[in-house]
Structure 1
Amino acid sequence: MMGRFGFVAVLLATLAPAPNAHAQSPGAPTGVWLTQAGDARVKIAKCGAALCGTVVWLRDPIDRATGKPAIDDKNPDPARAQRPVIGLQIFNDMRPSAPGKWSGHIYNADDGKTYESSLSATGPGTLKVEGCVGALCGGEAWTRAGK
């Protein structure tokens, strides 16, 4: 299932939350967002003081190898490796770390690992999702999906 989570591949890791987290901004990026590659839509919602993100749509929802719905088959936990990707919560602890910015962890279904990450509202219809692996950093812009 190459590409089913290509958008998360860039999000690999290490923007730690600030020690003094700010109150939840009323401009929290809730709603449905289309990944930069256009291969998934993630619904972001408030979960208490944090933000949660759940995959609600995949461009390719059927695994070509099996002919069945895409599953979280890279997860090292055998019980979780059978979960459908659609409905998978990829983050649930993004907390305010600066005005318009949330920091926490994001799950990458392409490799079954969880990484530190951040979300930054860059406009009413764009969201920057970023992270680093070692010295290699990257990010991408998600756009608000139509209703």
Structure 2
Amino acid sequence: MTRLPLVLVLVAISAHSAAANDLDGTWLRDDGNARVRIAPCGDKICATNLWIGDTSKGEAAGDKLVMTLARQPDGTFSGNAYDPKRDWTYSMTITVTPGTLATRGCIVGRLICRDVNWKAAE
């Protein structure tokens, strides 16, 4: 299976939505290889790499993912995310619980997906 870029696993929504508060903050990937800040950027929310441990997959500090999502009836967020570095658009689904994010990012018509868990940075 093709490995998707690591930053792809983040999500965001329209800045005016209440969901921004659910995602806003600094998050640590479960494998310990990334620290990301999710915050409003214009009328979207951006996930910005603050630190990347293993840069061999082409990720670097400062890389961004610009996202637009909507809260679903089941409480998850879904929509699209754009990676300007790679010029790729992903479909995204995020589940938020207190102190954690579970993300799923997909490409190629949702045929290639990657799930990643995140915890809030302390």
TM over 0.5: yes
The change in CA–CA distance for 1:34 and 1:106 in structure 2 (over 3 A counts) is: farther
- Tell me, yes or no, if structure 1 residue 36 matches structure 2 residue 39: no
Hey, what's the Cα distance between the residues in 1 that align with 2:58 and 2:5?
15
- Residues 54, 108 of structure 1: CA spacing in aligned structure 2 closer, same or farther, 3 A cutoff? same
User: Partner amino acid for 2:80?
Assistant: G
Q: How many residues align?
A: 110
Give the stretch that moved more between structures: 132-141 or 25-34: 132-141
Q: Aligned-pair distance for 1:49? A: 4.0
Identity %: 25
Matched, 1:114 2:88: yes
What corresponds to 2:62 in structure 1? Answer: 87
Q: What amino acid sits opposite 1:43 in the alignment?
A: R
Does the residue aligned with 2:81 lie in a helix, a strand or coil?
strand
Which structure has greater helix proportion? 2
User: Is the partner of 1:28 in helix, strand or coil?
Assistant: helix
Q: Read off the aligned partner of 2:6 and give its amino acid letter.
A: F
Q: Give the root-mean-square deviation of aligned CA atoms.
A: 3.4
Q: Is the 8 A contact 2:90 2:107 kept in 1?
A: no
CA shift for structure 1 position 138? 3.3
Post-superposition offset of 1:103: 2.1
Residues 29 and 129 of structure 1: CA distance in aligned 2, closer, same or farther (over 3 Å): same
Contact 1:97/1:103 (<8 A) preserved: no
Structure 1 stretches of 4+ moved >6 Å? none
* Structure ranking higher in strand proportion: 2
User: Which residue pairs with 2:6 in the alignment?
Assistant: 7
The residue aligned with 2:18 is 25
How far off its partner does 1:126 sit? 1.1
Contact 2:47 2:66 (8 Å CA) reproduced: yes
Amino acid at match of 2:24: T
TM-score, normalised on structure 2? Answer: 0.65
Residue 131 (structure 1) shift:
2.3
